[in-house]
Amino acid sequence: MSITKHWKRSLALMAGAALLFSACGDSNDEKTAAKSETSSAAKADAPGVGGKAIGFIFVGPKDDFGYNQAAYDGSEAVKKAYPDLEVLQAENVPETAEAERVVEGMIKKGAKIIFTTSFGHKDYALKIAARHPDVAVLQQGNVIEGKVPANIGTFFGNVYEPVYLAGIAAGKATKTNKLGYVAAFPIPQTLLNINAFQRGAASVNPAVETYTVFTSSWCDPGKQADAAKSLLGQGIDVLTQHQDCTGTIIKTAEAAGAMSVGYHADASSLAPKGWITGSEWDWGPLYVDMVKTVLAGDFTGSKYNDNFRAGYKSDPAEGELSPLVQSIFGPMVTDETKALVEKAKADISGAGSPFAGPVVDQDGVEKVPAGTIPSYADLENMDYLVKGVVGKMPS
Amino acid sequence: MTVIDSPPEEITVAPEAPTKGTNDLARRVGSWVVAYLGALAVFGAFMALKGVNPFVAYRDMFDSTLMNSASLSEVLIKAAPFLLAALAVAVPARGGLVNLGGEGQIVMGGIAAAGVALGLEGKVASGLVMVAMLVGAMVAGALWAALAGVLRVGAGINEAISTLLLNYIAIDVLLYLISGPWKDSAGFGQLASKPLADETRLPTFGSDGRIHLGVFIAMAAAVGIWLLLRSTSWGFQLRVAGGNGEAARRAGLPVAKLLLSGLITGGAMAGLAGAIHFAGVEGQLRPGMTFGFGYIGFLASWLAGHHPIRIAGAALLLGAIAVAGDSLQIDAGLPAASVNVLMAFVLFAVLGKKPRLAGASR
Amino acid sequence: MIAAQAATDVGGQLLIVSVLVGAVRSGTSIFYAALGETISERAGVINVGTEGCMLAGAMSAYAVTAETGNPWFGVLGAAAVGGALALLHAYLVIARGANQLANGLVIMFLGLGLTSLFGASYVSREINGFKPYAIPGLSSIPAVGDILFNHDPLTYLSFALGPAVWFLLFRTRWGLLLRGAGERAPVLSSYGYSPERIRYIAVGLGGLLAGIGGAQLSTAVALTWFENMTQGRGFIAVALVIFASWHPLWAMGGAYLFGAALALGPELQVRNVGVNQFVLDALPYVMTLAVLVVLAKRSFQRAPEGLAEVFDAPPVS
């Protein structure tokens, strides 16, 4: 066989690549007329200033009844608030180097503000920030340890606070004293939620236990169904979860006549009978405020250029930006329960905490001494399950 | 006898049937053009169904994928492991074997590279760690493929099936390691191994520092495999064994050994793909980090008729399509995975060219 | 180590019962796909794209159910789309000479691409899917009732389909012809039958059943549509067919074995047993390989001859 023939075929393949993308027309660039944001000249070189677009990446689909839908809705709020800026959105961006590539594509299109919205996007967010000092990167969830670079920050809400409140409602609602938790991975955010849920429930019902199943996946509906059915088979009558897509577990609970506590989004419509309450996100105001800070050239040194956390205990100004929303109560929640929840919320907003000591782990080891309120930073490193949680962390 | 009854190798050989003159060449180029245009048209129709103007979408894809150096380097980075994964298919195919296990061999390569790094980092010079990572990955990929090879020559178990099964086992081994023994203690419970130190990452080139050494390793591997298959007696014997095993055996060729060596060489290439992606791009083992590479490599090899040099072109094409998926998503608002439809129709067009003389070549 | 833990059950189902219930629940979608693939391969065509057919079925069933409100229409849609994808495979390998394995992979990618393109708008839709129906009387038999008689209608249908396909393949003239297409195509031709036509039908039926398997997953088990939600179940089905030596009833057993492995993880966790899910996940594949080794010679003697030619490389001494 002749060599040249192979080269010809090779060329044909590569020409194919060009043909595939060029077949349809001219490649004139209409978008070169950049509309640069107005900002003071002095701050023109601050990170994130002067871009023509804002990029958002999501780890799952934008309409998953869950985490990504909440983040997507937040990005839509930014779109509305800044009509002159193009908002670039990419769904299903895995927590691998794909994320880095997609974001690079957004930067090429003129984005100078990037929101990376999943816990596992952090490492790529850091790389992007290091490579592009002029781009402001906002990482949702996770923590940057040590000195935070000038053009990046993490942010999150203390979602374990509303989860604790939901735990109270679940603890009052359960008839079998067994609650079920479907989780993905034992990351601190998840452990905080499971523990807060159990502690909330136990605060009103000392006999209650929370059975936990880890699925090792943020969203595999088949596995979720297995986990939910396993829990229901043990006589558990309230199901909740820390999964990115939430529909399957809530529908499974409802179909089995069990109750459910939502997470990430209002799914009460999926469970007209069994819905108790839930925790939701409203990222819009916080996203918009972060974009405002960046565009003003004030990002570096601001509270967002750090590990920013919003919770019930925030100062009033931040309180308005709090992304935490407690879902509506379902029909079977009594006024007594609602009052208990209100009381606990007032307590957390004041001096209290879902993790006010003593906190004892599964093995009986005291993790937080009595009379102590752990700091947010301490809590973000949680690596244990509390007493009353049934189930072991996957090994 | 229908075409499907002929073993895979026959079909790949067929397009190389003797050509006669420029007329024939023009016809062939013409049929390629028709194939690509057809694929574009079909996918364009699907996009139009979803309310997206296909002309605008294609222009955006072209602009953002091939029109600037930064995105071209993304295409190269994406194509490099595809290229190696395709070589993992092409070499055994010479011996008439079907390696569907690139996916798993790549993962084992990544695991080995990470294991070498965990064991050697900080103890020996970083250059040595890099070499050890690459070599270790090749050995691991080769061993994983050898498992299937031994089952094939020893127990007569079809290698297409065993390599497919081994893919899943390899992925579970990876997940087990990064959720247990190798989990990064500083990783906040995430499933990931300890990050590679900066100095043990493959060196990078270019202004944006994205193109890594692995891209060149992959290209060199393609040339090396091409020479190996073309110019060595091993390459010749492998081909003979693949063409007619019975005759090869009667001629005194060690058929079992040849087939095993073909599969092992392929496995080593796949292992290398895992290593360059790990040490050149990810720097950490993560779930799904090489998802689909093996299967796309398989298709690249078929697209190129299992020829190492043509495979480079096929890997580039599939890499470009994969990167173009980003544009679909960012510009047209379509899910990135829908670009698979375009890839599928390109492949249909090529795979489904009824080979002339296919029956007669037997 | 696992059995010892069963004794620690408190109040809930026995571990073995729960796992068997889970085996049927998680195994049924895989079983449908494996059954379809058995028919296809018996006629001499392997379809590695079963994964794509399943995905297409899962998405179509969900979409049609969402639009019409009736999951049975969803099943029809799933069967049609799964079958159509498989027919595309059949056309390319039979009429266009494409390699079966490579083309099957392309079918998989096509299924993934099409369902993400057209499925995106259904992710957040709600449906009234299939509900479990406890068969009066039978479902109250201890243990067995829960394991076999408290499922969705598609599961009951699959109970009947296994034996039906066995009967069709081995006890009817049509089955004889179909197996003939897989083993003795030239003989079939000489009697005036068209092996190609039979293969088209077999491959189409295979995709149709894979589509229904996908429908079971999305409209009866998960009650959700999600991109790539089959997560490799279609590939498992392809492996299973060989595990089952191209026998429909063995495929049923194999599918439940995979289902059991999927169900075992959560069942152990709710019993407070720490597990590494990934070790459990790998078990069925390791077992399949082991079974292949044990059955090696026998198994491949049972392979349809037409298929053996696709699979088999040169003889090895």
Residue A112 maps to which CATH number?
Answer: 3.40.50.2300
Q: What phi, psi does A305 have (nearest 5°)? A: -90, 50
Beta-strand pair A111-116/A86-90: unpaired
Mean pLDDT, range B246-275, rounded to an integer: 93
CB nearest A255 (choices: C126, C131, C273): C131
User: Mind listing the pLDDT tens digit for each residue in A262-284?
Assistant: 998 888 988 999 999 999 999 99
- The shortest CB-CB distance from C18 to any of A64, A233, A394 is to A233
B279 touches chain A (CB under 8 A): no
Phi, psi of A61 (to 5 degrees): -75, 155
What 3-state class would DSSP assign to A86?
strand
* CB–CB contact B316 A13 (8 Å): yes
Q: Is B3 near chain C, with CB under 8 Å?
A: yes
**Angstroms from B120 CA to nearest CA on chain A:** 23
Residues of chain B found within 8 Å of residue C228, distances taken between Cβ atoms: 337
Is there a contact between C216 and C56 (Cβ–Cβ < 8 Å)?
Answer: no
Q: What is the pLDDT of residue B137?
A: 98
Min Cα distance C39 → chain A (Å) is 26
pLDDT tens for chain C, residues 1 to 317: 343 343 344 456 788 999 999 999 999 999 999 999 999 999 999 999 999 999 999 999 999 999 999 999 999 999 999 999 999 999 999 999 899 999 999 999 999 999 998 998 888 788 889 988 999 999 989 889 889 998 999 999 999 999 999 999 999 999 999 998 888 888 888 888 888 999 999 999 999 999 999 999 999 999 989 888 998 899 889 988 888 889 999 999 999 988 998 888 889 989 988 777 788 778 878 887 887 888 766 655 566 776 665 554 333 32
A332 shares contact with chain B (CB less than 8 Å) = no
Q: How far apart (Å, rounded) are the C-alpha atoms in residues B40 and B344?
A: 11
Q: What is d(CA B118, CA B136) in angstroms, rounded to the nearest whole number?
A: 12
From the list A63, A225, A395, the residue facing C221 with the nearest CB is A225
Closest residue, chain A, to B284 (C-alpha): A96
Residues of chain C found within 8 Å of residue B302, distances taken between Cβ atoms: 99, 102
Q: A82-109: per-residue pLDDT in tens?
A: 999 999 999 888 888 889 989 998 998 8
> Is C262 near chain A, with CB under 8 Å?
yes
**Cα–Cα distance measured from residue A209 to residue C310, given in angstroms and rounded to the nearest whole number:** 56
Place of tokens 């003071």: A40
Nearest neighbour of A226 by CB, restricted to C26, C29, C273: C26
The answer to whether residue B159 scores a pLDDT higher than 60 is yes
In this structure, how many other beta carbons lie within 10 angstroms of the beta carbon of residue A79?
Answer: 15
What is the total count of domains within chain A? Answer: 2
In this prediction, residue B179 has a pLDDT band, given cuts at 50, 70 and 90, of confident
- Minimal CA separation from C187 to chain B, in Å: 10
**Amino acid type, A155:** F
Domain parsing of chain C, residue ranges: 3-311
Over residues A215-240, the mean pLDDT reads 91
Tokens 């779109």 label which residue?
A79
Please give the Cα distance from B237 to B221 (Å, whole number).
20
A178 - beta bridge partners?
Answer: A209
Amino acid identity at B199: E
* Mean per-residue pLDDT, B187-196: 83
Residue contact A233–C226, C-beta within 8 A: no
Compute the CA torsion angle A144, A146, A150, A154 (nearest 10 deg). 20
Least CA distance to A231: which residue of chain C?
Answer: C270
Amino acid identity of A205? N
Q: Which of C93, C147, C142, C121 is nearest to C306 (CA)?
A: C93
Tell me the one-letter amino acid at B118.
L
Measured CA to CA, the distance from residue B279 to residue B203 in angstroms comes to: 9
Contact C44 B244 (CB under 8 A): no
The CATH architecture annotation of domain B78-328 reads Orthogonal Bundle (1.10)
| Structural tokens at position B358 | 């296919």
- A7 touching chain B per CB within 8 A: yes
Q: Are residues A343 and A232 in the same domain?
A: yes
Instruction: Please tell me which residue of chain B has the smallest CA distance to C88.
Output: B348
Q: In A, which residues are within 8 Å of C266 by CB distance? A: 213, 215, 223, 226-227, 229-231
Query: pLDDT-based confidence at A23, cuts 50/70/90?
Result: low
To the nearest whole number, what is the mean pLDDT of chain B? Answer: 86
**A14 Cβ contact list (under 8 Å, min separation 6):** B313, B316, B317
Cis peptide before B308 (omega within 30 of 0): no
User: Per the confidence metrics, is the pTM higher than 0.80?
Assistant: yes
Residues on chain A touching B77 (C-beta within 8 angstroms)? 101
Asked if A209 and A294 sit in the same domain, the reply is no
CB contact under 8 A, B66 and A17: yes
Q: Which pLDDT does position A16 carry in this prediction? A: 66
Q: Which residue of C has its CA nearest to B153?
A: C316
Place of tokens 């090869």: B248
Which chains have at least 3 CB atom pairs separated by less than 8 Å from chain C? A, B
The reply to whether A146 falls in a domain is: yes
Domain layout of chain B by residue ranges: 78-328
B 180-239 residues with CB < 8 A to A: 180, 186, 188-192, 195, 208-210
Confidence of residue B13 (pLDDT cuts 50, 70, 90): very low
Report which DSSP code applies to A329: P
Selecting from C131, C218, C231 the residue whose C-beta is nearest the C-beta of A220 gives C231
Q: Residue type at A383? A: D
Per-residue pLDDT for B206 more than 80? no
Residues from chain A contacting residue C29 (CB–CB below 8 Å)? 222
Closest-CA distance, C88 to chain A, in angstroms, reads: 23
Please tell me the predicted confidence (pLDDT) of residue A37: 42
- A20 in a domain, yes or no? no
Domain C3-311 has CATH 1.10.3470: yes
Which of A36, A47, A43, A41 lies closest to A299 in space, CA to CA? A47
Chains A and C form CB pairs within 8 A to the count of: 125
H or E element: which one contains A105? Answer: helix A97-108
User: For C223, which of A230, A233, A252 is closest by C-beta distance?
Assistant: A252
- ipTM for the predicted complex comes to 0.86
Radius of gyration of chain A, Cα coordinates, nearest whole angstrom: 24
Chain C residues within 8 A of A231 when measuring between CB atoms: 266, 270
Residue C152, pLDDT score: 94
With CA atoms as reference, report the closest residue to A203 among A343, A49, A335, A379. Answer: A343
Interface touch C278/A214, C-beta < 8 Å: no
Q: Nearest CA to A241 among A211, A270, A273?
A: A211
pLDDT exceeding 70 applies to what percent of chain A?
Answer: 87
Determine the pLDDT at residue C50: 97
Q: How far apart are CA B117 and CA B192, in angstroms?
A: 14
The Cα of A199 is separated from the nearest Cα of chain B by a number of Å equal to: 22
Q: Is residue A38 part of a domain?
A: no
What pLDDT, on a 0 to 100 scale, did the predictor assign at position A146? Answer: 86
Pairing of strands B204-205, A389-390: unpaired
Three-state secondary structure string covering A246-303: CHHHHHHHHHCCCEEEEEECCCHHHCCCCEEEEEEECCHHHHHHHHHHHHCCCCCCCC
Write out chain A residues lying below 8 Å of B65, CB-based. Answer: 21
Least confident of A29-33, A253-257, B179-183: A29-33
Q: Which domain holds residue A221?
A: 160-281+324-390
Record the tokens describing residue A243, joined without a space. 């999964």
Q: Is B360 on the interface with C (CB under 8 A)?
A: no
Q: Which residues of A touch C (CB under 8 A)?
A: 61, 63-65, 69, 92, 180, 211-216, 219-227, 229-231, 233-236, 245, 247-248, 251-252, 255, 269-270, 390-395
Q: Which of B16, B324, B335 is facing A21, going by the closest CB pair?
A: B324
pLDDT exceeds cutoff 90 at A314: no
> Per-residue DSSP letters for C29-48?
HHHHHHHHHHHHHHTT---T
Tokens, residue C295: 């059955």
- Asked whether the beta carbons of residue C114 and residue B46 sit closer than 8 angstroms, the reply is yes
Q: Do C223 and A247 touch (CB under 8 A)?
A: yes
Q: How many Å lie between the alpha carbon of A223 and the closest alpha carbon of chain C?
A: 8
Neighbours of chain A (3+ CB pairs under 8 A): B, C
The two structure tokens encoding residue B361: 């070549």
**What local confidence, expressed as pLDDT, does residue C125 receive?**
84
Q: Min CA distance, B206 vs chain A (Å)?
A: 13
- Residue A28: predicted pLDDT: 44
The answer to whether position A32 is within a domain reads no
Is C26 in CB contact (< 8 Å) with chain A? Answer: yes
Q: Does A358 touch chain B (CB under 8 A)?
A: no
What is the predicted pLDDT for the residue at C309? 57
Domain assignment present for residue A311? The answer is: yes
Chain A contact for C71 (CB, 8 A cutoff): no
CB atoms B295 and C238 under 8 Å: no
